[in-house]
A = this chain, B = another copy of it.
Amino acid sequence: MEGFSSEADYLQELDRRAVLPEGFRASTGRLTFTPQERPTQEPYRMNLSLLLADEPTEVFASVLTRNAFPGAPILLARKRMGERAVRGVLVNNKISNVCTASGVEDAERLLEELSRLVDIPATQLFSVSTGIIGWALPVADMVRALPPTVAALHTGSAVDFARGIMTTDGFPKVRSAKAGTGSIIAFAKGAGMIEPNMATMLVFIATDVSLPREEAQAALSEVTARTFNRISVDSDQSTSDMALLLSSGKRGSVSRSQFTESLFEVCERLAEDIVRNGEGTGHVIRVSVSGMRDESVAAAAGKAVINSPLVKTAIYGNDPNVGRIVSALGDFAGNSGVEVDRSRLSIRLGSWEVFSKGVFHLDRDNEVSLSSYLQEAAMNPRIKGYPQHDGRVDIQIDFGLGSEGAVVFGSDLSHEYIQENADYRT
C-alpha cells in the first residue's frame, strides 16, 4: 500500500507532484477578519490564493454545480465562460459567498482590485469562494491582502496554493501526470458536502499541453462524469463548486484520446484523495457495480450503497453487516422502479462472496475474516496531515442482468464526521 508516515514525508512527495506546468504562476496570502454575522473575540483566518497563466488563454473549460441556489462565484463563472480568453483565478476559503445581498458585487470588486495590481482585465479572472454559506465576504480585509499575495507569485512547486484553498481538508491534494512533452496538474479542495455533480469541491487544473478549447471542454466533461461525479462523502451537493481547466499551450499537442486518458488518471486519483481526506473518513469504500443494463443505473445503485448511513456506520465499526448492503440495494431498486432479480444478484466484500443466488453466505469463519479485512482498511481519522495508506474496502455487486457497470467511491460515517460538522463554524 502507498502511504506516508509523516506530514513531512507527504509534503516532499507533493512538492514533486505540484510543479506548475510551463506558463503558470501561483501564490497564497493570509488575512484575518471579524465576520459581521458573528462578532467574536478571536478573529477568523482566511487564505487568498492565486493561480494565473502568464498570458491570456483561449483554452479553458469548466464544470459547474447543478445546485439551484448557486453562489456568486458560479454566477460569475457562467459569465466568464462566454469570454474569448481568461488568465486565472482568485480563491478564498472560509466564506463561500452564497446568497448574500451583495455577493456578485463583492466578487467583482475584488477582481477589479486584483485587475489593477496584475494589469489583467477583470473579465479574464474568476473569483472562487469556499466555506460557510450565507455570510458576506470581508471585502475590505481581502483587498488589503491582495498586494502581498500578488507579490508572492511564483513558478515551480505550488504546494502553497494547494494548501491555501483548503477549508476542513486535512491535507493538501495534488495529482499530476505527463501528457506528451507537457503535463497536467490538478489541485483539489473538498472534505465535506461531497456528492456528484461538483459538490463542495473545487478543482483547478493547469496544463501546458496545446489543444483546442472544444477538446479541453469535452475531456473535462467526460472525465468529471466518471471521477468527481462518482464520489460521495455525505450525499450533499453544494452551492459553489466547480472544476476549472486552463491550458497555457506552451508545450506540444497530444492526441485527443491521450489527453483524456492523462486527465482521467489525474482526476481519478484526485477524486479518491478527496474521499480519503473527507471529514472524518475512517474507511474509503469502493463500490463496483456490474451486470446492469445501463451505466447510470449502475452508478446510482453504487451511490445508494455508499450513501446508506447504515452501511457507512457498520463499516466504520468494522462490522461486516452485509445485510445492510442488500437492504440498500433493494431500497434503491424498489423505489426507483429498476427491475432486479434477487436470484441473479451476487455480492463480494473484499475477496469473500457474501451473497449469491438470492441468499446470504454467512458463517463464523467468514465473519471473522471480513471483520479483520475491514480493520486492515481502517484509517485513524485523527491523523489529519497526510494519507496514512491507500487501502480501501472493496464491495463488488453483480446484478447479472447486463453488461454495463460503474465504480463509485465513498466513505464511512464516523464520530469524527459528527464532531467536525456539529459546530463547523466555531
Contact = CB atoms under 8 A, between A and B. Distances in A.
Interface in A126-140: 132-135
Given A135-B362, A316-B418, A422-B313, A236 B331 contact: yes
A323 B324 CA distance: 32
A404 interface: no
Interface in A295-337: 307-310, 313-314, 316-319, 321-324, 326-335
A330 B236 contact: no
Contact of A69 (B68, B134, B330): B330
Interface in A390-422: 413-415, 417-419, 421-422
A18 B281 CA distance: 44
Nearest to A367: B38
Which residue, of A134, A355, A358, has the highest number of chain B Cβ atoms within 10 A?
Answer: A134
A418 B415 contact: yes
A62 interface: no
A133 B324 contact: yes
A27 interface: no
Contacts of A197: 334-335
A317 B37 contact: no
Contacts of A101: 359
B238 A331 contact: yes
Nearest to A36: B363
A98 interface: yes
Contact of A310 (B98, B234, B327): B234
Contact of A321 (B314, B318, B424): B424
Contacts of A192: 310
Contacts of A313: 417-418, 421-422
Nearest to A338: B68
The DSSP consensus for interface residues of chain A is loop
A237 interface: yes
Interface residues of A, number: 78
Contacts of A67: 327, 330-331, 334-335
B363 A99 contact: no
A39 interface: yes
Contact of A309 (B39, B96, B134, B235): B235
Nearest to A368: B38
A262 interface: no
B68 A329 contact: yes
A16 interface: no
A133 B418 contact: no
A344 B333 CA distance: 35
Contact of A323 (B66, B132, B340, B426): B132
Given A37-B363, A68-B334, A99-B326, 8 more contacts: A99-B355, A101-B359, A195-B331, A234-B310, A236-B324, A236-B331, A313-B418, A414-B418
13 contacts: A37-B363, A37-B364, A66-B335, A68-B329, A68-B331, A68-B342, A69-B329, A135-B362, A234-B309, A237-B335, A319-B424, A415-B418, A418-B418
